Amino acid sequence: MIHINNFVDKIKALESQNSKQFTMTMREAKDLHADITKLLIALHALQETKQSTANEVIQVQIQGDSW
């Protein structure tokens, strides 16, 4: 997610300069949008996987034959 890192780095640099304005090119904005969208899709898939495994029933049977 290089574009998110670039965005964060740019914000930090401008903050250290006490800048009051932030601008980015349309290309930078589109790249940032693409990275955020990829993260949201991955998060959604992960949550769905977690929900499907949370609904699994695990049955354990213990036998004490020689006790």
Check residue 51 and give its pLDDT: 75
Which DSSP state fits 58?
-
- State pLDDT tens for residues 11-67: 999 999 999 999 999 999 999 999 999 999 999 999 988 877 766 777 888 787 776
Q: Is the pLDDT of residue 9 over 90?
A: yes
31: Cα separation from own chain's centroid: 16
Q: How far is CA 36 from CA 3, 8, 12, 29, 54, in A?
A: 9, 13, 19, 11, 27
Q: How far is CA 10 from CA 5, 41, 54, in A?
A: 9, 25, 40
Q: Would you say the pTM of this structure is higher than 0.85?
A: no
Check residue 63 and give its pLDDT: 80
Check residue 56 and give its pLDDT: 72
